[in-house]
Amino acid sequence: MPTWVQLVYLLCGVCFILALKGLSGPKTARNGNLLGAAAAVVGCILPFLYIDHLKNVPLILLAIVIGTVGGVYGARTVQMTQMPQMVALFNGVGGGAAALVALLELHEILGLADAGVDPAKFALAATAFTVAVGSVSFAGSIITFAKLQELMTGRPVIFPGLPILFGGSLLAAVVLAVLLVSDVALWIAIVLALVGLLIGVLLVLPVGGADVPIVISLLNAFTGLTVAAGGYVLSNTLLLIAGTLVGASGTFLTLLMARGMGRSVTNVLFGALKGGSTLGGGEASDRPVKSSSPEDVAIMLNYAERVIIVPGYGLAVAQAQHSLRELVDLLGERGVDVDYAIHPVAGRMPGHMNVLLAEAQVPYEQLKEMDDINGEFKDADVALVVGANDVVNPAAKTTPGAPIYGMPILNADEAKQVVFMKRSMRPGFAGIENELLFEPNTTLLFGDAKDTMGKLLNAVKAL
């Protein structure tokens, strides 16, 4: 590899680091994303410029065209509520691609071995790691996609002997990896890939409810590590840097999300085996609640001095963020102090609500993280909960044994009045009732969030 190519790869690696830094803040995220994408494009073009007699060029170009068309179409058409599914799908494809590249590289290694060249043991170990973990990431990501897309049940899938089968599969993967390093054979790598696929499926099946996005982040870290290992095998510095960045950031994100749920990663993955997972589903309650009309809630909001909005996944599903912003702007013009309280795992992934509200041109200054705003609920006249449930459920603080017990929540229950905008009385993703709905200071406003928000906006305008 010529020196100038190595320098360009290094520059692209620096761009990836700067892109990741840019993604850490809403004002710089767009430019950071564009910088990372540009570096990736340069990295893909470079092999065409310095490799002599590049083979299978038409097939490579065809693959690039198919991938580009699919990526652009997916990015342009995906709904904001389906973003986690897209992340899972793209991540799975990345892990599968890394595993396939490792298998192809092993085929080249076998050719060198037949020619009398002794392959390096560490390179073989990196190849085995890439095949195994890449397969785990691919299969696991496909299952998470199916759960979130409701192609299969979102509840944990458990069957007798699952822990034994999972443990046996892990042991088999380790044994096969050792065999591959000591006795290079393509069939061993293929069996290792199949075992990795089984591990990926068994890893995700017991996960349910709000835990699925955490697993997506973990599998994303797995994919990053496989890409880094593949970069070592291919002697490609850019892959090594990019994979390490994805692996490290994915690991930190997984830990932060688990902390936001008040859980450990181990509990997220295996909690369902002892009844500790967020289960999802649940039946609608028939207990009596206090409901109201948009006109009554409009009066309550119009004469409040301090209002805190708690957005959730229901807001994203209904695409009601634009009407909500208009309502907040109108209240602000009338002297009402309004902010948005953002829970770390509101929606389906970290930042989901931030992106959704930014799409509606909500000022960043009005978006306040949980730790910054929790102390202000006690001074709020109204807490308006739009499509959220579990993130304000007091059971997280008061009910040991509840699926969400120990999860940090927004203290909406401390507000003087609480208004819940809900489609029905069905529980949230955790599948348990929210006792806050039945409190005397809580009013429910039933209906589709977008339709109801429009009626509420008109009622406030009419005052």
Q: Which residues are tagged catalytic?
A: 390
Separation of CA 449 from chain center: 24
Encoded amino acid at 331, one letter: L
The answer for residues whose C-beta is within 8 angstroms of residue 348's C-beta and 6 or more apart is 81, 83, 84, 148, 213, 313
Q: Which residue has the tokens 């829970």?
A: 343
The answer for residues whose C-beta is within 8 angstroms of residue 166's C-beta and 6 or more apart is 199, 202, 203
Contact 158, 98 (CB under 8 A): no
Give the burial string for 196-216 (b: 16+ CB within 10 Å, else e): bbbbbbbbbbbbbbbbbbbbb
Half-sphere exposure of 349 (CA within 13 A, CB side): 21
Give the burial string for 7-46 (b: 16+ CB within 10 Å, else e): ebbeebbebbebbbebbeeeeebeebeebbeebbeebeeb
Give the burial string for 423-447 (b: 16+ CB within 10 Å, else e): eebebbbbbbbbebbeeeebbbbeb
The answer for residues whose C-beta is within 8 angstroms of residue 225's C-beta and 6 or more apart is 129, 133, 243, 247
Contact 215, 207 (CB under 8 A): yes
